[in-house]
Structure 1
Amino acid sequence: MPADTVREDIRHFLTSRRARLTPKDACLPDFGGRRQVSGLRRSEVAQLAAISVEYYTRLERGNVGGVSEEILDSLAAALQLDDVERAHLTALVRAANAPRRAADRDGGACHVRDSVQQILDAMTGAAAFVRNAHLDVLATNQLARALYTDALDTAEQPPNLARFVFLDPRARRFYRDWERIAHDAVGSLRTEAARTPGNTDLADLIDELATQSAEFAQRWDAHDVEYYRSGQQGFHHPAVGDLDLDYDALEIPADPGLTIVIYTLNPAAPHATAFLRLSHPHPKARSGTPSPAADSGPPR
């Protein structure tokens, strides 16, 4: 990522965070009347961060040379950044101040060690796969292959979840909360782009998605960032129907850039029978037609 691009990203990120806050949000007096900017003024952010307006204006223009951690902390507090946003701002500042370097591809790691595949295969009651920071799916276990059958059914190898979300119409039915999944996918890629600014493979992926999907381009321009760590995700599987699965994303310390994503379900939870049938599909499920019990809970 060229230095000018990094500075532009800093500018857009700070202005977008400033625009989402009102004086009320920041506990500042609002004297009424028409405001010429959406959100806080630069002078208000500077006041909250205890820095001069001139200095804040310089930072918002991407001129971040020599900025201290203390200033970044004050700025993060003033703009009410969460931990992910604070880390993103730090990554952008680091990228802006770093000497130009060769292309960085660590987030696009593509090799999965045999022992990691063995871990996946040992998880017989969970759907698990390994992805890199570009959202390429590199390895799966049996249950993950059954769960993500549509996403993995692609000529593009390795399969990429961002391409599936934005370029494959099946994704909107597969993800019951497609809007949140789309937000998280873009936020994850935006976070990685700041972390590895010289990553030409990632830049190519982002250009491809922005060119082919207006929705991706719009979300990319929002400069939101996200970590995909844990929570619950709703699916509509073409063979077994609705599933509400718990997920955890575990980074692999020995393999920087690789993450194991694991989906589990309490045996007593709704849809438990449907999840179990992914491992032992009913004959009707193989044909793509959900059986009558697809949405039922566990047997009583």
Structure 2
Amino acid sequence: MDVLAWNRGAAALLTDFGTLPPAERNLIRLTFLDDTFRSLYADWPRAARECVAVLRMEAGRRPDDRALTALVGELSVNDPDFRTWWAGHQVRGPRQLTKTYHHPVAGTVTLDVQQFSVDTHPDQLLVAYTASDSASEEALRFLLQWTPTGPSAPPRKRTTPR
């Protein structure tokens, strides 16, 4: 769930990944440890549980991955919800789903999220977010018009652990 590349829409909707150090460009890490990112989710517990299930699947596939082990350790130390859900051993791979965000500028946005495998890089996924209704489509259009195309905003301050 490391973010390797993004477009202007992803930066406007989720966060400007360019302002984050590369080691912090991880969707699961942001979901648990960044209050601003966390507040985007209309149903944070559902999204967070989904993240844990995907992370659990990856941990089973790559038990010797040091970066993955470090991420699980960091999340376990800093977030009690993560600790609880990690202990539940739910496993789930990437799938199509719908997410609703409460964006501070665009308002409520409901998106279909599809994850596609990349044949030339089997460990990578291309993730596409599409509006699931006309109100969300309009909110995305507004957000893209509002978002500057210039340089990234100054780096955000790191959120303190829970």
Q: Normalization by structure 1: what TM-score? A: 0.46
Aligned pairs for 1:76-115 within 5 A = none
2:113 to 233, 247, 256: 247
Paired residues for 1:162-201 under 5 Å? 162-201=28-67
Give the count of matched residue pairs: 148
- Kindly indicate whether the alpha-carbon contact (under 8 Å) linking 1:147 and 1:278 is maintained by their aligned counterparts in 2: yes
CA RMSD of aligned residues (A): 2.0
List alignment gaps of at least 5 residues for structure 1: 1-134, 284-300
Correspondent of 2:136 among 251, 265, 271: 271
Letter in 2 for 1:176: A
The answer to whether the 8 Å contact 1:151/1:164 transfers is no
Larger radius of gyration: 1
Secondary structure, in 3 states, of the residue corresponding to 1:149? coil
SS in 1 for 2:128: strand
| Pair 1:228 & 2:94 matched | yes
Structure 2 unaligned residues grouped into runs of 5+: 149-162
Q: Which whole-Å CA distance do the structure 1 matches of 2:5 and 2:17 have between them?
A: 13
Take 1:281 and 1:273, find their aligned partners in 2: how far apart are those partners?
12
Deviation above 6 Å: which 4+ runs of structure 1? none
Equivalent residue, structure 1, for 2:153:
none
Q: Provide the TM-score with structure 2 as the length reference.
A: 0.83
Query: Aligned equivalents of 2:85 and 2:17: distance in 1?
Result: 21
CA gap 1:141/1:172 in 2 versus in 1, 3 angstroms = closer
Return the structure number with greater strand share. Answer: 2
Q: Percent identity?
A: 34
Structure with higher RCO (Cα < 8 A, 6+ apart): 2
- Write the letter of the residue equivalent to 2:31: V
Q: Quick check: 2:12–2:147 contact (8 Å CA) kept in 1?
A: no
Q: Assess, with a 3 A threshold, how the Cα gap between structure 1 residues 143 and 252 changes in structure 2: closer, same or farther.
A: same
Task: Give how far 1:271 is off.
Answer: 2.5
How far residue 152 of structure 1 moved from its aligned partner, in angstroms, is 6.0
Determine if contact 1:232/1:245 at 8 Å carries over to the other structure: yes
The 1:279–1:194 alpha-carbon spacing in structure 2 relative to 1, beyond 3 Å, is same
